[in-house]
A and B are shown apart, each in its own frame.
Chain A
């Protein structure tokens, strides 16, 4: 059994400070973001003009559609739609 004097416990407690709340909430909202992404991908596959708008300016088009164009989202859309 590992021996934990209280100083050791205190040190271990200090090793895991909370991540910034906003980061945690953003990660927790991934399912919502991904559903928005699914909608974008489906529309791009059905609507050539919309796909062209994504190719021309991905960030702005996503923002117009209410999807936060963060780096992870941009990469996911590019990958799923095989965008340049």
Chain B
């Protein structure tokens, strides 16, 4: 069973490397996406990414609420990125714009993170095909080759798996007449 953030933080703080590895695995996409939203070049994004995880590791003991890992990561990534912009002498939009744009982006990424967490509860074949098609932007051909599937069946599998993901999230689409549920 998947461990909560609080459990992972407590284990990492106690010196369990495996727990730290899981924290990085769980949040790497989230930190990466926030860093990318500042439109840095690849090297800057990498520096922000590494700097954020280094600071989190270093200050794990100071986290007051172990369940607050995600908002902490968001705030830290944003701060590290803005510091980097300032150090690079790049022009930053007005404070108001900066806050609004970044806050909106992080809010959307929070929602995306929840969807990815739901994705992790789906069977492996659904996780794999949805992640490859949407998050990794792979073509039908590449997916077919990797998963040994005829490319003609991929679209229908994606559609079925999206439906399952929607079900996990507890949503209903009006007029949905989808019959197939595996």
Contacts and interface: CB of A to CB of B under 8 A. Distances in A.
Given A14-B135, A16-B30, A17-B135, A23 B166 contact: no
Interface centre among A3, A13, A70 (most CB of B within 10 A): A13
B46 interface: yes
Contacts, number: 106
Interface centre among A1, A10, A20, A28 (most CB of B within 10 A): A28
B115 A30 contact: no
Given A9-B166, A27-B50, A18 B171 contact: no
Contact of A27 (B28, B137, B171): B28
Given A1-B170, A70-B50, A17 B57 contact: no
A30 B54 CA distance: 7
Counting contact residues on chain A (CB < 8 A from B), the size range is 20 to 34
Contact of A2 (B51, B54, B171): B171
A19 B49 contact: yes
B136 A17 contact: yes
Counting contact residues on chain B (CB < 8 A from A), the size range is 35 or more
B29 A16 contact: yes
Contact of A4 (B32, B113, B169): B169
B15 to A, nearest CB: 8
Interface of B: 15, 17, 20-21, 24-25, 28-33, 46-47, 49-51, 53-54, 57-58, 108-109, 111-113, 115-116, 119, 130-131, 134-137, 159, 162-163, 165-166, 169-171, 173
30 contacts: A5-B173, A6-B159, A6-B166, A6-B173, A9-B166, A12-B115, A13-B112, A13-B135, A14-B135, A14-B137, A15-B33, A16-B29, A16-B30, A16-B109, A17-B33, A17-B136, A18-B136, A19-B28, A19-B49, A23-B32, A24-B24, A24-B28, A27-B28, A27-B53, A30-B54, A31-B17, A71-B47, A71-B51, A72-B51, A76-B58
